[in-house]
Every structure is written in structure tokens, then in C-alpha cells.
Structure 1
């Protein structure tokens, strides 16, 4: 009787541990490439995406680009997003003149109607921001 109870308790503990590990992994969605998202843009418009690229700001416009395919996305960070610590730190980092940073951006993919940057992302969060030396980042 004790062996059966122990086996059930052990089985439940293993199941809970395994589901916890799976849940932790699902939080870290691997980023898509900007090239693949822009290449099949109609599939992504209106959905949330996680992409990684090089961010920079020119004037008041922040973009995320990928030198592999020369694609770029405009990044919109509204007041609500800017209140988040990760987004405000990202904005400060790339807001300085000439600063570029490698970053993973999560947000809603949208068509902008702008010929120069036809697609953009409404930024919800930013992670893994690494400032690049002036010579890097394309």
C-alpha cells in the first residue's frame, strides 16, 4: 500500500516538474528572422511576432533591420509600452546618436502604408538588448 502511494506521489511530482519545464521553455519563443517575416508579410499582418535584428534610431524613427536581406521594420513604442522598464531602457539605448543594438522585439506586426518602411511593429516588449560597437550592426 505504501509503495503504491509513493509511486503515485513520485509520478505526480515528475509530471508537475516536466510541465513546469515545458511552461518555462514556451516563454522563450525563439525569434523569427526579419527576412522571413517580411518575405511572407501578409501571413503575419495583425499577429504578434518575435523577431531579432539590429535596432537604430535616425531622427525620431527607430528601426529594426537585418543585413542578410536588407529588410527593416519601423518600431512604434507608444506611451503604455514606454512605461515598461525593458522598452524604456531599449528606447534610451538606441535613442543616442549613432548607437545600434542587437535586440529581440515582441509586438504586433502591421502594414504602415509608408513606401520606405512598409511594415512595422507595435512594440510590447524587448529582451536580450546588446549595444553594438560603432563599427558593427550594418
Structure 2
């Protein structure tokens, strides 16, 4: 009788640990986004590092920009053609493909400087999540 109670308690604890594992792993992977204004405002601190930012993405021709209305800042997004194998990036590209299309998104990638005076910074995109089309 005593061993039956220990077995039930152990089985319950194991079941709870297995159920909580994916939730704990998911929250550890999802870094809260920095504001684009913070990253641009202190760009020297972020150059060459991986950033996760949220903003409004739009395309004009072959250029995709991520912007923030609060500071009127923007960065270009480099969406590698080899990255189209990744579903999140391919879906994001379709969401902002046409001129005038906009979507809010959380973008993760390497922050770097460019030689372009209009858009002095860019993000080489590794992943995109939470894409919502803007009407």
C-alpha cells in the first residue's frame, strides 16, 4: 500500500515535469524584443550582435524596412534568398511583398552598419515571429 502511494506520487511528478518541459523551453527561446528606437539610439552597443526587435515592416521594390513610429527610425532587413527554406522568413516575405503592404513583426538577426546614408543600419534576419498584417 505504501509503495502504491509512492509510485502514484512519482508518476504524477514525472507527468508534470514532462508537461512543463516544452513550456519552459519555449519561454527560454523567446527573447523579449528590444525597441527599435533603443537599438538605433545606442547602435554602437549593438553592432555585430544578435538583436530581437519589433516594428512595422514594409517593402519598397527590393528593399524591406523595419521602422518604429516613436523615433521615426528604420533599419533595412536583409532577407537572404537561402533563407526562403525557413517557413517563418518565407511567410514574412509574402506578407510584405507588394508595395504598400505592411506588417508588424518581431525580427531576430545580426545588427550591422551599412554604407547607405538613408538607412545606415541593417539586420541580417535569422528568424521572424508574430507577423500581423497591417491594413
Q: TM-score range by the shorter chain?
A: 0.7 to 0.9
Task: Give the deviation of 1:80 after TM superposition.
Answer: 1.7
1:90 corresponds to 2:96: no
Count of residue correspondences? 133
Which residue is equivalent to 1:23? 25
Q: Aligned partners of 1:93, 1:4: CA distance in 2, in Å?
A: 54
Task: Give the deviation of 1:113 after TM superposition.
Answer: 1.7
**1:69 aligned counterpart, secondary structure:** coil
Residue segments in structure 2 that go unaligned for 5+ positions in a row: none
For structure 1, which segment, 92-101 or 3-12, has the greater mean C-alpha deviation from structure 2 after superposition? 3-12
Which residue is equivalent to 1:69? 71
The 1:83/1:16 distance shift into structure 2, 3 A limit, reads: closer
Residue segments in structure 1 that go unaligned for 5+ positions in a row: 134-138
Q: Aligned partners of 1:89, 1:66: CA distance in 2, in Å?
A: 21
What is the CA RMSD across the aligned residues, in angstroms?
1.9
The 1:100/1:13 distance shift into structure 2, 3 A limit, reads: same
Which residue is equivalent to 2:132? 130
**2:110 aligned counterpart, secondary structure:** strand
- Equivalences for 1:31-42 in 2 at 5 Å? 31-42=33-44
Task: Give the deviation of 1:24 after TM superposition.
Answer: 2.2
Could you report, residue by residue, the CA deviation over 1:14-72 in whole angstroms, capped at 9, with x for unpaired residues?
A: 66766654322111111111000001111111111111000000121100000000000
| TM-score, L = length of structure 1 | 0.82
